[in-house]
Each structure stands twice: as structure tokens, then as C-alpha cells.
Structure 1
């Protein structure tokens, strides 16, 4: 429920309660004053009535002193005897040819006001039982009644008027309240629109339109505009720094590739040139190892040659590792720069088979298994072939790296219009809580940190390649039992056997 509707509902509820209290108060006040006048007339009439004697009452000679009767057209008097059934009425009651209901003698007759109804006429009557002084026996009843039908109709109409007028006021107030609330909360609507525009776009220069006086909403608008200005300034500074960082990584990667390539080339050249001599020196050292006294000088010289060979091999290994790191950084720099791959329709099966063949040559201690690849036979994907090979090699190399024993398996799946490439290993696995973080840059799971070498960039690059191919990645793992990655890629063609 919106604030506008809540405010209107609260206001309308408060108004309804106020009108209810006010209407009930008015009704009770009018009702009390109206029937108080009626009762005063009845009491005045009672004061003027005189019953002649008890003897006359028993003999049927009960006589109302009509000369003292209160002359009111709406006041009626009736006296009834329970001993002989005698009934005496005032002249106006006789002319109206009406008889007030006589209470049953078998029931207790209480003195006081009671409502009476005769046909369609309403009366308010004061009943007084007539009793003998000696025996306290009830021998008759005196009834002084006031005709209240007009008053009852008046009170009924008053209730109707109060109800419908209050209802009309509430409806009108609710409608006006909605309008007033909308006008009062218009600055909030402007705030929501501006924030939504910023959230859905990248333009932080949007500001909230300032309307109305310098009230709370106006000050809130000014505060939010100031906050947005600071956010824009900070964002622009961070964006400039991030762009400078991306340029630095990209430029540094490009600059480092050339000297690393030169170093690796020269090391490989030296290894080819010196390899025969180094191997011969190694053989002589092994033969003279037990005769140190005869050829100490020669042994030291040849040992230096062997150490030189080992140093060259270390340099070559580190240069290779640095080349891989630079290539990874260059790939991430391309991703940050919004590099768009040039993709074409590629047959998926030959590409996967090529990766499977070349993976056999990777350094590993686990068994390499190639599973069923037939599900992707005859289908194509819209892809960049080199990057797709790089993607699969990243997962395969990771599997070999974290699987000291057991096996690594590559197989294929197909589900609907997607193809799945499964890379499964029986390695060290990882905690399931770490899965959301493994594609972050430089992140390495705790179970592998310190045990295996790596930079933590491979899966970040893999995630970028998957996103560029509109694919998805599925991960299932258990610590100590292995990990399974499934790379899902959308297909551009399904073989005819699966077409409907």
C-alpha cells in the first residue's frame, strides 16, 4: 500500500470515528430532550388526576376528574379494574376508538414508563398499579400515555440523515484527501523517478526537480541532490582511476610480452646449443662421483656446467609461467575494455575432440578419460573457436592441477537447445560455500591455497568467455571427492534426428 493511500486511509478513519462520536452525541442529546418533554407532560397529567373513591372504583363508578385533566391532544388516560373488568378512558381516547393494552394481572406490574403499540400507533405510557391499602392487593392499573409516533419517525429520520450525511462527508473527504496527499507527496514521486532513472541507466547527472516551498520535502530534495552530486563526483573519479588501471594492465601486458618472448626464445636456443655438452658433463660427474681425490678440479668444473643447465631450466620455467600470467592479464584487460569477440558458426564436436587430443600432452598425474561425445555430433554453436578452446583448456588444466590421483573425464551432453561440456575430476574438491567466489579474480579456494601453484585468474577468464557466448556454468563439488563443471552453450543447429 502506498504512503499516499495510507495517509488518506488514516485521515478518513479518524474523520469517520470523529463523525461517529459526534453523530451519536447529537442523536442521544436530541432523543433525551425530546422524550424528556414527553415524560414531563405525562407527569403533569398524573399530578392532575384524582380517583374519587375506592368504593366507586369497585362499584364501577370510577370517575376521572376530567375538569383537571391536562388538555393535551397527545396525552391519553386509561384506568382498568381487575375485579369487575371496568374500563374508563379519557374522552380523546374514546373518540379515537382505541384501547391501550392492559397488562396481565398474573404478571408483576411494575410502576414506570413502558412503550406500547396499538395497531400502527406508538405510545410511551406511565403505568401505575392500583392497590388496596390494607391487603396491598392489586385491583387495577392506571395508564397515562403519550402518542409518540411522530417523535419516533422524527428520530428515525434523524438517524438516517446523520448516517448518510456522515457517509457522504467521509467519501468526499477521502477523495479530497487522495488529491491533497498526491500534491503533498509529489516531491517523493520526483525522488523515486530520479533514483529509478539513475538505477536503470548510467547517467549520474540526473537531479531531482525542486518544487514547492522550503519545507521538509524541499530540504529532503536538496539533501538528496547534494548526495547525488557527491556520488557522481566519486563515481567519475573511480571510473577514471579504473580506466587508468585498465590501460596500465593492458599496456603493461603488451609491453611484457615482447621481452618475455625474447627471453624464452634465447633460453630455448641456449638449451639446444648446450644440451649435448651438459648431458656429457652430467654423465662424467656421475661416473667420477666416487673418485673425488683423483679428479676434484674436473668435477668442480663439470658441476658448474650442470648447475648452469639447471639454472637455465629454472629461468625457462619461470619465463613460461610469467608468459601465461601476462596472457591472462591481457585477456582480462580485453574483457574490461569491452572487447567483442568475432564469432562464427562452429561445429562443436571437432573443436572438443581437438581439445581432448591436445589435453593428453598436458603434464598430469591423473588418468585422462574421454567419455561419450556423440550427443554433440552434427550441432553447431555461435562461437569464437580459439577462445572456446581456451575455455575448455582452463577447466581441463585446473582438473589436472587439483587431481593428484584418480581420473579426469571429458564428455558431452545435450538438453533442449543447449549443449553441455562436462569436465569431471576425482581430485581434492572444495567446500560448497566457496562456489560463488571461485570466478572472482585472484580468488583461490582454501583447500588448494598453498598446495598448488596458480594466480586465480583462469576461472575469471573462463567466466568472461562463457558470458560472451551467452552460456552458463554449472558446478557441483564435494571436498575430498572431486568437482564437476558443466559448460552450457546455446546451439544454433540441432541434428535432424532430434528435430520435430
Structure 2
């Protein structure tokens, strides 16, 4: 429920309660006042009758009410002997009850509401006294239809005016609350615009008094200005970092390639010289001596190994730099079966101590994905090399799955495994899941690159692992409809 609606309901509810209390109070006042006036009038008429009665003993006559200007007042007396006398304006006898007469004779005040010819009246019982002696009971009655009609109209007026007032107040409250809360709507719109477009230059337009909403608007605008400044600084620093990594990677590739080429050349020259001299290839410390230059085959191997490791690191950094820069790889329909078979064939030549097993690939027959063949191969080699690296005994297996329109490539091993708590972090850059993994060569960037390649292909990766029992990676990629008929 919106604030605007809640405010309108609160205001309308308070007004409704106020009108209800006022209406009930007003109605109660008029009801009491009119009925009390009628009763007082009947009591006064009874007193006047007692003063104007004439006669002796049971022989008495009721006075003419016109003398008292009492139109609409009806009189009836019941003598001790049970004789009934009524005023001239009363055509029929008024009803009475013995219980009421007895109560009057006991000195109590008695009022009754009666119906005569479908006309409601209020009736007052009073002792009838003549020359100090009780001669009977006097009934004084008057119609109350006018009073009831007035009270009915009053109720109707109060209800109609109350409902109309509540409706008008609710409408006005809805309009005024909308106007009062419009600046907050502007704040929400500006925040949504910033969220959707990431444009921190947007500001909240506000024209009005410097009240709470005005101060809130100024505060949010100031906060947006500070965030924009900090974001610009961070973005500039991030762009500079990306440029540095990209440029450094490009610059380092050339000297590394040169180093590796020269080392390979030197190694070939040394081997050729050693064979020509008939001394064989010595892997000892001193191999070739030419003047003051002494080269070692072991040293050349170290240089070549380190240069190769640096090359891998630079290539990994370059791939991630491209990913950070928003590089989008070109994609085309790729048939999965030949691609996986090529990966399996080349993987058997990787350095390994575990058995390399190719599982069931029939699920891939005629299956295509929209992707980049080179990057998909790089993705699979990253997972396979990791499996070989951390599996000293046992096996590494690759097989295929297919479910819900997605093709799954599963790489499982029986290596050292991981703790399940470490799985959320293994795709972070330079993260090494287990301290013992630091003994293995690697940059800690492979899985980060693998995750980027998977994201670029609209896929996902599933990881299952158990400490000292092995790890399974399943790469899921959206499959295309078979294109074999078009080839």
C-alpha cells in the first residue's frame, strides 16, 4: 500500500470518526432535548389540570384545555371507582394499565409510549387531587410523530452530509497527498533512471519550500554528485588499469617470443656442436666453452621453462584484459562432436601422470552450439590441464551429457579435490583453492578465463567436489537445432 493511499485513508478515517462522534452527539442531544421538553410539558399540563379541576368528591369535571393554549394535548381521568372521563378533543379512550396506575398511586413518576389509531403518543400518569383528596389518576398524552419525523430527518441529514463530507475530504486528501508526495516520486524516478542507465549525472528537479522534502532532495542530489565524482575517478583508474594490463601484455609478448626463439636456437646449436665433437650431449654444468662464454643445457632449459610460463601468464592476462574491455568474440554454429574429438586427441599429449579416458560422446551427434571454436577448445583445455595437474594417480575422464536443450561437457578426475566452501572463489583471479596447490605451477587465472568464455557463450558451469576424492566440472551450453542437413 502506497504512502499516498495510507495518508488518504488515515485522514478519511479520522474525519469519519470525528463526524460519527459529532453526529451521534448531536442526535443524542436533540433526542433528549425534544423528549424531555415533551415530558416537561405533560407534567406542567397535569399540574394545571389539578389546579383547574372543579367538583366535589367523585363528582368533578376536567377543565377546558383551550384555556391553557394546549393544542394537541389529550386528557383522560380514571376515578377511584373506575369511571373514565376524557377531554372534549379526545374521541376514544386512552389505553392504560393497572400496573402503571398502581405505581402512580405509590408516588412514582410514570411515562408510557402508546399507539392510538396508528398514531404514537407519549403519556404521563399523574395523581388527580381534589380539595386535598385523591379522587383518581390523570392521563396526559400528546402525539410524538412530529418529534420522530424530525429525528428521522436529522439522522438522514447527518448520514448524507457525513458520507458526502468524507467523500469530498478523501478526494481532496488524495489530490493534496499526490501534490505533497510528488517530490518523492521525482526522487524515485531519478533513482530508477540512474539504476537503469547508470547515468549519475541525473539530478532531482524540485521547486518548492525548503521543508523536509526539500532538504531530502538536496541531500540526495549532493550524494549523487559525490557518487558521480567517485565513480568517474574509479572508472578512469579502472580504464587506466585495463590499458596498462593490455599494453603490458602486448609489450611483453614480443620479448618473450624473442627469448624463447633464441633459447631454442641456442639449444639446437649446442646439440649440433656436441654431436659433431663426438662427445655426446652432456647435461652437466659445463657444456660449451667459447672464449669466456660458458653455457649450460640446464640453464637453457630453465630459461625456456620460465619464458614459457611467462608467455602463458601474459596470454592469460591479455585474455582477461580483453574481457574487461568488453571484447565480444565472433561466433558461428560449431559442431560439438568433431571439436570434442580434436580436444581428446590433443589432450593425450599433455604432461600427465593420470590415465586419460574418453567417455560416451554419442549425445553430441549432430549437436551444434553457437560459439567460437578456438575459445571453446581453450575452455576445455583449461579444465583438462587443471585435472591433470591435481591428479597424480587415478584417471581424468571427459564425456558428454544432453538435457533440456543444453549440451553438457563433463571433465571429472580422481585428484585431490577441494572443500565445498572454496567453490564460490575458484573462479576469482589468482585464487588457489588449497595451500598445497601452490606447489603446482600455474597462474591462478585459468578458471577466470574459463568462466569468461562460458559467459560469452551464454552457458553455465557446475562444480562437484570432495576432498581427496576428486572434482567434476560440467559445462552447459545452449544447443542449436541440428544443421547436418545443411552441410
Aligned counterpart in structure 2 of residue 102 of structure 1, from 97, 101, 104: 97
Match for residue 113 of structure 1 among 107, 111, 114: 111
Counterpart pick for 1:382 among 370, 380, 389: 370
How much has 1:101 moved relative to structure 2? 4.9
Distance 2:98 2:149 in 1: 26
Write out per-residue CA displacement over residues 405-453 of structure 1, whole angstroms, 9 at most, x where no aligned residue. 3322211112243211112223333333433333222233247654544
Does the C-alpha gap of structure 1 residues 205 and 279 become closer, same or farther in structure 2, counting only changes over 3 Å? Answer: farther
Does 1:10 pair with 2:6? no
Asked whether the 8 Å contact 1:430–1:447 carries over to 2, the reply is no
Question: Does the residue aligned with 2:432 lie in a helix, a strand or coil?
Answer: coil
Q: 1:248 maps to what in 2?
A: 244
Say which SS state the counterpart of residue 213 (structure 1) adopts.
coil
How many residue pairs end up in the alignment? 468
Query: What residue is the counterpart of 1:297 in the other structure?
Result: none
Contact kept, 8 Å, 1:204 with 1:232, in 2: the verdict is yes
Q: What secondary structure is seen at the aligned counterpart in 1 of 2:201?
A: coil
Partner of residue 84, structure 2: 87
TM-aligned CA distance change 1:239 to 1:128, over 3 Å: same
What is the CA distance between 1:484 and its match in structure 2? 2.3
Q: Which moved more, 1:437-446 or 1:6-15?
A: 437-446
**Which residue of the other structure, out of 204, 218, 223, is the alignment partner of 2:200?**
204
| TM-score (normalizing by structure 2) | 0.85
Q: Can you give the 5+ residue segments of structure 2 that lack an aligned partner in the other structure? A: 130-134
SS of equivalent residue, structure 2 residue 27 = helix
The Cα shift of 1:332 comes to 0.4
Q: Which runs of 5+ in 1 are unaligned?
A: 132-138, 286-299
If the length of structure 1 is used for normalisation, what is the TM-score? 0.83
Q: Tell me whether 195-204 or 111-120 shows the greater mean CA deviation.
A: 111-120
Deviation of 1:68 after TM superposition, in Å, equals 10
Tell me if the contact between 2:101 and 2:125 (Cα under 8 Å) persists in the aligned partners. Answer: no
In structure 2, do the counterparts of structure 1 residues 393 and 62 end up closer, same or farther at CA, with 3 Å as the change threshold?
farther
Deviation larger for 101-110 or 179-188:
101-110
Contact 1:399-1:408 at 8 Å conserved across structures: yes
In structure 2, C-alpha distance between the alignment counterparts of 1:88 and 1:407, rounded to whole Å? 127
Secondary structure at the residue paired with 1:205?
coil
Match of 1:478 in 2: 466
Q: How many angstroms does 1:119 deviate by?
A: 4.7
Structure 1 CA distance for aligned equivalents of residues 165 and 191 of structure 2: 38
The separation in 1 between residues aligned to 2:226 and 2:44, in whole angstroms, is 86
**Which residue in the other structure is 2:334 paired with?**
346
1:173 aligns with 2:162: no
Deviation at 1:476, TM superposition (A): 2.9
Q: Deviations over 1:300-333 (max 9, x none)?
A: 968x999944343333322222211111100001
Matches within 5 A, 1:136-215: 142-215=138-211
What RMSD in Å do the two structures reach over aligned CA positions? 3.5
